[in-house]
Amino acid sequence: MVNWKRTAFGRTAAAARYVAQRYVCCIPAPALLLLCAALCTMRAAAQSQESPSHRTAWPATPSAELRFKALKAVADDRANFLPVAAAKLKLNIDTAFAWQLVDTFLTHPVGDMFWLYPAVGFYFHCKDRLNSYWRGRFRGMMKSYSPYRGDTENHYLMYYSAILLFSQEWPELGRGDWFNGKSSAENYADAKEYIDHWIDDVAANSVTEWDSPRYVYLYITPLLVLRDFTNDPLLRKRVDMMIEYLLADFAAEYLNGSYCGAHSRHGDNSVIDPRRAEAGTYAGFYFEDSLAMPNGLGNELTFAALSGFQCPPIIRAIAHDRDTAFVHTELKRSRAKMRSSSERYTLAGKYDFMTPDYCLGSVPGGLLQPIQQHSWDVTFASPKPNNTIFGLHPQWSAMEAGMFFPEEPELIVGSIARTKGSYTNENKWVGGSPYEHIVQYRNMLAALYAIPAEASTHHVDLFLPKSLDECDRSDSGWIFCRMGDAFVAIYPLAAERIWMEEKINWRLRLPAPVDSLTGYVVECARAAELSFAAFREAHREPPRWCRTPRTDENVLDVRTRTGVRFSVAGSQLDSLTLHVNGSAVNFDAVHLFNGPNMYSIAGSRVIELHAGNRKRILDFNRNTITE
């Protein structure tokens, strides 16, 4: 049966309903004036009673002091990166070395679009230091060097934002003066068309490389340079709005230095230690007004420090609004699929249960991104390292590679393994699987796997860090973990459990015999709710589950410690249904964002930001920001 809400007609209808409900007012004018006066009075009274985490009186970030501190930190580096040269020149530090870097960068260009976007950032930010010789060398590179456009969403953004600015800088260049045989006018038109399309598409449907702790800065940095130097005031406004969109999306899932929940693309190191992610640099810069470079990422921060963009106070408030627990959901989509799928994009409902002490977050599983997908985790607010628990089926295949990459599927696996060494490693900690199905309701999650004979591996792994304050393997079969004031109970749904000690963690391996159901149940709690001893006492009974999915009974049946019945039924892994207290929990295909801090109907291109009694609306249809 076709779900009309997921069709173009359904989304259009939903968007119209959104406008009607939120913007059309049928109240008579006199009554409306009285109502507005009353609301303003109530708002002023409530504002004076806002709790610290809800306050939107945060100063906009970054401060002037932080901008200088960041620029100085980069300028003190000796790394061979063009943003380092820009920082040195702006602060007049070690300028001889800076010019050597520029010369090397222009003499031996490498990196394609990764060469192009720092080139445009350096050129425009340091334009006042460039004489005719240096400007001519940059201009000549647009003819002599042919940067590859790339094959991912962030690649395209880096590429086209740079092409737009350079073609704006030299509007007189003809087809013979550009590497691609197009004139400046043609290059500008192409770049402008793509960027406008991308902004509209993201506002309506989200990015395809969503919520990536590894790559979010490769969206923000090119956008910062574009907003600072485009001559088009409307484009600048739209880019400003898009930067706010990306930062708000990040802030809604931010917890004490970590980007929580599921991610489209994660790194091998940051997946096991969330605060080491590149996103942490930008979280500190915009959410905390502090300088944090957990992964040594300081180069691109040059362009953020030099930019005129400031993070609105309401987004800072969203990042710190953690007084109470809440559910935050998002509608994400897969990377575009080329083979082995009847869908161009697969929609996925992202679910987060955020609390002051932990966040439990997930997507439903399946293949949404190649190579680096991260489907679920518990992220602890504790300042300890490796503050996460998660699991996966470490799968790889030519089918997966061919689904997302244009090259010959049988050959691309080897190519991926050469650049992403962990891809074909059975002990990897990052990656998606077509045999994974995840369901979540608030603080409860179940991950189920039915792995066929042709799969690359036949086991499921769980990451449990040694930095946990407590880890108790109970005789009942439950595993109890505590970090700070957050508790986690895990019940492996497997006949065999293999504990493997590694340097910073315990790897719990669950063998998955062919045609047998394997997985685990996860339940979380807080010290504010009960003691750790009481939490363990509440988990005496194991879940009821079937080793083989059947049509006539539940695959899984669990009673949570609060008495909620959490059950999963179905005969096929891709059609399992979650029931809570007997009622089916349906996939939300209507809301792009739905939570106390962000609200949007998919397709509407209107995103509401909320913090306390404040609201900020990004309307990409009218290209307006209202608060």
**DSSP secondary structure string for all residues of 5-59:** GGSHHHHHHHHHHHHHHHH---S-HHHHHHHHHHHHHHHHHHHTT--GGG---PP
411, part of any domain? yes
State mean pLDDT over 251-277: 96
CA distance 424 to 417: 6
The two tokens of residue 126 are 């340091």
To the nearest whole number, what is the mean pLDDT of the chain? Answer: 89
Taking 3-state DSSP, the helix, strand and coil percentages for the chain, each rounded to the nearest 5, stand at: 35, 20, 40
507, part of any domain? yes
Instruction: Record the pTM.
Output: 0.89
110, part of any domain? no
CA angle (378, 380, 381) in 5-degree steps: 145
Instruction: Kindly state the helix (H) or strand (E) to which residue 155 belongs, with its residue range.
Output: helix 153-169
CA dihedral 110, 113, 117, 122 (to 10 degrees): 20
CA distance 433 to 364: 11
Nearest 5°: phi and psi at 132? Answer: -65, -30
State mean pLDDT over 117-140: 97
Say whether the peptide bond before residue 62 is cis (omega within 30 degrees of 0).
yes
Do the beta carbons of residue 371 and residue 423 sit within 8 Å? yes
Count the residues in the chain: 627
Nearest 5°: phi and psi at 598? Answer: -140, 140
pLDDT band at 57 (very low <50, low <70, confident <90, very high): confident
Per residue in 568-578, pLDDT (tens digit) is: 987 676 678 89
Question: Residue 549 has what pLDDT?
Answer: 59
State mean pLDDT over 412-421: 80
CA distance 456 to 477: 28
Question: Residue 570 has what pLDDT?
Answer: 79
Domain containing residue 494: 348-588
487, part of any domain? yes
Number of separate domains in the chain: 1
501, part of any domain? yes
- DSSP reduced 3-state for 63: coil
pLDDT at 30 over 60: no
189, part of any domain? no
- Among 33-47, 128-142, 419-433, 439-453, whose mean pLDDT is lowest? 33-47
172, part of any domain? no
pLDDT at 621 over 80: yes
Question: Residue 79 has what pLDDT?
Answer: 87
